[in-house]
Amino acid sequence: MSETVLQEALETLKTTGVRITPQRHAILEYLVKSMSHPTADDIYRALEDKFPNMSVATVYNNLRVFREAGLVKELPYGDSSSRFDFVTNDHYHIICNDCGKIVDFHYPGLDEVEHLAAHVTGFEVDAHRMEVYGTCPECTQKKTAAPVQ
């Protein structure tokens, strides 16, 4: 499945005139296979052994190209380091307050909120974003397993 998605993404880039370099291919492949919503630094660290001459700037530049081609969404969160999401269809995120893990979830009913907001305010609504915060199962388990002092 991910190989098909990767090939489709590469074709999308080619049709927009983007040359497929080995670094670009590797960054895109990492995003397709990773469901962790990585930062540019995460991607750089994951690929630095394979591409020792690649810089963090190269990763950022490629992420910008992917974003402009509609292949990734940039998720700017409060920790001032954007995360990148290859899944560009409508979905929402739940974020762990402790470790920062981000997990996708789908809930189709929120489009009604856009229509209501437009109706009540007179705005032309372009999009919406919803984030849910809590503690992931792993962090909850760590908290309950920690010895009481």
List Cβ neighbours of 95 (8 Å cut-off, separation of 6 or more): 77, 101, 102, 103, 131, 132, 133, 134
Binding residues, as ranges, are: 96, 99, 128, 136, 139
Does 43 lie in the same domain as 1?
yes
Does 142 lie in the same domain as 96?
yes
* CB neighbourhood size of 47 (10 A): 18
Binding residues for Fe cation, as ranges, are: 128
The answer to whether the CB of 41 falls within 8 A of the CB of 56 is yes
Per-residue pLDDT, 56: 94
The answer to whether the CB of 67 falls within 8 A of the CB of 73 is yes
Domain of 108 in residue numbering reads as: 89-149
Per-residue pLDDT, 34: 85
Find residue 134's DSSP bridge partners: 96
Q: What is the CATH number of the domain that holds 83?
A: 1.10.10.10
Does 95 lie in the same domain as 72?
no
Does 93 lie in the same domain as 83?
no
More confident residue, 130 or 125: 125
Picking from 66, 88, 110, the residue at the C-terminal end of a domain is 88
Binding residues for Zn(2+), as ranges, are: 96, 99, 136, 139
Does 105 lie in the same domain as 58?
no
The answer on pLDDT for 1 being more than 60 is no
pLDDT digits (tens, 9 = 90+) for 56-101: 999 999 999 999 999 999 988 766 678 899 877 778 889 899 988 8
Picking from 41, 63, 88, the residue at the C-terminal end of a domain is 88
Distance CA 133, CA 45 (A): 27
Predicted TM-score of the model (pTM): 0.78
Q: What is the mean pLDDT of residues 23-40?
A: 91
Q: What is the CATH number of the domain that holds 111?
A: 3.30.1490.190
**DSSP string covering the chain:** -HHHHHHHHHHHHHHTT----HHHHHHHHHHHH--S--BHHHHHHHHTTT-TT--HHHHHHHHHHHHHTTS-EEE--TTSS-EEES--SS-EEEEETTT--EEEE--GGGHHHHHHHHHHH---------EEEE--HHHHHHHHHSPP-
Query: CA distances (Å), 69 to each of 10, 13, 16, 53, 88, in order?
Result: 11, 7, 7, 25, 11
Does 149 lie in the same domain as 118?
yes
Picking from 88, 111, 134, the residue at the C-terminal end of a domain is 88
pLDDT tier, 106 (very low <50, low <70, confident <90, very high otherwise): confident
Does 135 lie in the same domain as 71?
no
Does 12 lie in the same domain as 84?
yes
The number of distinct structural domains making up the chain is: 2
